[in-house]
Chains A and B, each alone.
Chain A
Amino acid sequence: MVGIVVLGVTLVVGVIIGFAVRRRDGKVRAVKQVVSDARAVVTSDDLGVELGERVTLVQFSTAFCQPCRATRRILHDVAEMVPGVRHVEIDAESRLDLVRRFDVMRTPTVLVVDVAGNVVKRASGLPRKADVIAAVGVAVDGPSHESSHQSDSV
């Protein structure tokens, strides 16, 4: 009897987790800008390569990550398509310092970084190409175009 109850509860929890993850997966979210925190800024030293001329797409990956490959393909396509956009892939395991600094819990996690190194948007899970392109647009224009009162918090 206990076993049947445990089985039922486990399956219900599984369905809830499954739909919750599916809903959130790959969603490109806005990132609150903390202007005073230098650690929140991505530098070329962090990445080991120069930032993109306009936008850098920083992808955290691990060897044990199913959607990382598809994510790589999408970001690569966007970088090819939109001039000034660079795609940088980081092996999360060898850069745990960055993983902790940018609070990466899952792979793939994508940071959309503007020319000044600010993380404008982020997504975990496989993002949709259209969402990435839209986020790149926001990063190029600067966050002030999306929300005018963000500069007030300086």
Chain B
Amino acid sequence: MQIDPRGPRFGAAVTTLILAITLVTRSPWLLALQAVVFAFGAFDASPYGLLFRRLVRPRLGPPSELEDAAPPRFAQGVGLGFAIVGLIGFAAGITPLALGATAAALLAAFLNAAFGLCLGCEMYLIIRRLQPGRTQ
């Protein structure tokens, strides 16, 4: 599937904002909300993507090129992983874990929004490298 690359970028900007407010207010509910968004995003149904298509894209010109949906979808899954760890931190009362995991997800979202760098995608090969080797 091919998508407008500005969609995930817009989503990353909203995610950055939500996670920043999460850190400042230390609200587990906001993080839970973002975790739900990540979960939908991992199945190509991000609410932020919907927001982009309904409200933002009609105001923009057509995209200069399309890109594959798989990388951003994978990155949403990575984001969900961090959000879940953060929620466990909040639930268990381990504040450093909660804030650390939220900060990690925020870092990835910020790099995507500001620099177009997909940290989750970069992690993919490194994770695969750590798994037991195949000869061919």
Whether A95 lies near B136 (C-beta < 8 A) is yes
Give which listed residue, A19, A64, A106, contacts B70 with CB less than 8 A.
Answer: A64
How many of chain B's residues have a CB under 8 angstroms from any CB in A? 37
A14 with B126, Cβ < 8 A, contacts A3-B99, A97-B136 known:
no
Residues of A within 8 A of B131 (CB): 96
**1/0 per residue A86-107: CB within 8 Å of B?**
0000001111110110001111
How far does the Cβ of B106 sit from chain A's closest Cβ, in whole Å?
Answer: 5
Interface residues on A, range: 20 to 34
Q: How far is the CA of A2 from the CA of B107 in the complex (A)?
A: 17
Interface of chain B: mostly helix, strand, loop or mixed: helix
How far does the Cβ of A26 sit from chain B's closest Cβ, in whole Å?
Answer: 12
Whether B23 lies near A97 (C-beta < 8 A) is no
A62 with B125, Cβ < 8 A, contacts A6-B23, A6-B103, A21-B115 known:
yes
Residues of A within 8 A of B111 (CB): 14, 17-18
* B59 within 8 Å of A (CB atoms): no
Which residues of B are at the interface with A, using a C-beta cutoff of 8 A?
Answer: 5, 20, 23-26, 67-68, 70-71, 74-75, 95, 99, 102-103, 106-107, 110-111, 114-115, 117-118, 120-122, 124-126, 128-129, 131, 133-136
Which residues of A are at the interface with B, using a C-beta cutoff of 8 A?
Answer: 2-4, 6-7, 9-11, 13-15, 17-19, 21-22, 62-66, 69, 92-97, 99-100, 104-107
